[in-house]
Amino acid sequence: MITENLQKAINDQITAELWSSNLYLQMSFYMEKEGWDGAAHWLAKQSEEEKEHAMDMAHYLIKRGGTAKVSMIDVVPEGWGDYAEVFKNVYDHECHVSELINSLVDVASAEKDKATQDFLWNYVREQVEEEATASAIVDKIRKAGNAGLFYIDAELAKR
């Protein structure tokens, strides 16, 4: 059985993951409107991935005897400027999510719930990858300059 404190923390993370999904979906719409179909595709895939995280956490919570809940999800921003700014926001957001996951691991540790700690370490490792991917995209955009954005956009479309 999972503790109430940990159940609340996981439910908060479920809501955060769904907010992230909406954020990336809105970014995808924005980039499509701006004519960057590759980035729009990549961001839509990222949106799906964040929703999968929320679903995995909900299923885990239920398996442990808890109740999964979705709280109200705040509205996401709608405009980000140019290509580089969009992906700088992606990187910053992934860093924020890493902080949230680390805090969730701390709650599981304080509750002495080793099973949940183990479950969450998968997300810690995944967040390292997501940060690294976003950072690499930001770096490539910086190095490529405006002329190279078409190449980067074509690469992002391959995801």
Torsion over CA: 106, 111, 112, 115 (sign): negative
How would residue 10 be classed by pLDDT, with cut points 50, 70 and 90? very high
Mean pLDDT value of segment 109-132? 96
C-beta separation of 138 from 88 below 8 A: yes
Does residue 31 have a pLDDT over 90?
yes
The pLDDT mean for the chain works out to 96
C-beta separation of 72 from 116 below 8 A: no
pLDDT tens column, 59-85: 999 999 999 999 999 999 998 899 999
Does residue 1 have a pLDDT over 90?
no
Q: What is the pTM of this model?
A: 0.95
Task: Please report which residue ranges of the chain form alpha helices under DSSP H.
Answer: 4-33, 37-63, 83-110, 114-144, 149-156
pLDDT tens column, 47-60: 999 999 999 999 99
pLDDT tens column, 81-109: 999 999 999 999 999 999 999 999 999 99
Among 117, 124, 54, CA closest to 94: 124
C-alpha distances (whole Å) from 17 to each of 24, 94, 98, 127 are 11, 11, 11, 12
Please state, in angstroms and rounded to a whole number, the distance separating the CA atoms of residues 86 and 27: 7
Query: CA angle, corner 50, sides to 45 and 51, nearest 5?
Result: 95
Domains of the chain: 4-156 (1.20.1260.10)
C-beta separation of 4 from 109 below 8 A: no
End-to-end CA distance of the chain: 38
